[in-house]
Amino acid sequence: MLDAPVRLTDLAHGGGCGCKLAPSVLQQLLANQPQAAPYAQLLVGTETGDDAAVWQIDEECCVIATTDFFMPMVDDPRDFGRIAAANALSDIYAMGGTPIMALAILGMPLGKLPIETVRAILAGGASICAEACIPVAGGHSIDSPEPIYGLAVVGLCAVSDIRRNSGARPGDALILTKGLGVGVYSAAFKKQALGAAAYEEMMASTTLLNRIGHKLAKDADVHAMTDVTGFGLLGHGVELARGGSVALDIDFARIPFLKDAPALAEGGFITGASGRNWASYGEAVVLPAAMPDWRRALLTDPQTSGGLLIACAPERAEAIRGTIEAAGFPRATIIGAVAAGEPAVRIS
């Protein structure tokens, strides 16, 4: 790890996808905005809260566009760049596409960080883009009071392979591809209470590209996909439920977590974003009466470069889960099912 004169996380009031505006605030901001003109080529816009915008080029091909950036959740600048890049690329994969190029988004507090640190951030992002076989073809930078880094990414996808968060059907199985707990780990890291093994576990999860989404989208039995990021499992589950006008039944005991996440959450290492998330969408969630607050916090925990939440045909669920696991996702788990009913997420 590179030495820095100050901790990157000390320069930021938040980190990773925990920096996101709360879902309720975002809804208020977008409420009175003019709607996009009804372009026939715009297949996916802001109407369903999907992971990226999709523009149809012709009968067979689409362009997918997204952007994502945030403040550091770790102190190693190269690691920060790697996490941020993997997180931005995830939106393309979650829609079923393949990224083709990226543009860097950089805001740095001039005079507070050495040039070598900023170069390492950019190099970390470029290394993940190289892993995805795409160039960082340009970008934009500003002087900002807090360090910010991310990417704008463009991808391609066949029209038939686009997967939205609104395609879940009653009876579908639900698969989660990565363990939850990144926000809990980042909260512990900021307080210097995260061990070396847990840090490596977090890095392995947050830099694992969700490229399996492109392969899954070619399977007609995969009906809906979204990536689980700043709104937590419950928030993105609520989006999927509302998008498909269905209910999600999730078994808490089946949910995969990073190894130390439950113990750390019970010990109080919980982000502020977790509470803001619950305040934003808790009315659409049904929890067991005796569930302690720390367990609920795991379900609202903001994930940075989190896994995919997938709705698929139940008879194919185990085979699809096995495909995901074989692609390098050892925690891929069937966590529940989709049911008819008022849009909600129900935890048992």
**Catalytic residue numbers?**
17
Q: Is 172 annotated as a binding residue?
A: no
Residue 75 annotated in ligand binding = no
**What DSSP assignment string belongs to 133-172?**
T--EEEEEEEE-SS-EEEEEEEEEEEGGG---TT---TT-
236 annotated to bind ligand: no
Measuring CA to CA, which residue among 180, 225, 243, 230 is closest to residue 25?
A: 230
114: left (phi over 0), alpha (psi -120 to 50) or beta: beta
Q: Is 79 annotated as a binding residue?
A: no
- Return the structure tokens found at 330: 């050892």
Q: Is 249 annotated as a binding residue?
A: no
Residue 48 is assigned to a ligand binding site:
yes
Would the annotation count 221 as a binding residue? Answer: no
* 49 is known to lie in a ligand binding site: yes
What CA–CA distance (Å, rounded) separates 186 from 188?
5
**Token duo for residue 270:** 């919980």
Task: Please state the length of the chain.
Answer: 348
- Is 245 annotated in a binding site? The answer is no
On the CB side of 153, how many CA atoms lie within 13 Å of its CA? 33
CA distance 305 to 178: 10
235 is in an annotated binding site: no
Q: Evaluate whether 236 touches 226 at the Cβ level (below 8 Å).
A: yes
CA–chain centroid gap for 62, Å, is: 22
Q: Is 181 annotated as a binding residue?
A: no
* CA pair distance 223, 253, nearest whole angstrom: 24
Q: Which residues contribute to the annotated binding site for ATP?
A: 20, 48-50, 68, 91, 139-141
Instruction: Return binding residues.
Output: 20, 48-51, 68, 91, 139-141, 227
Binding residues for Mg(2+): 51, 91, 227
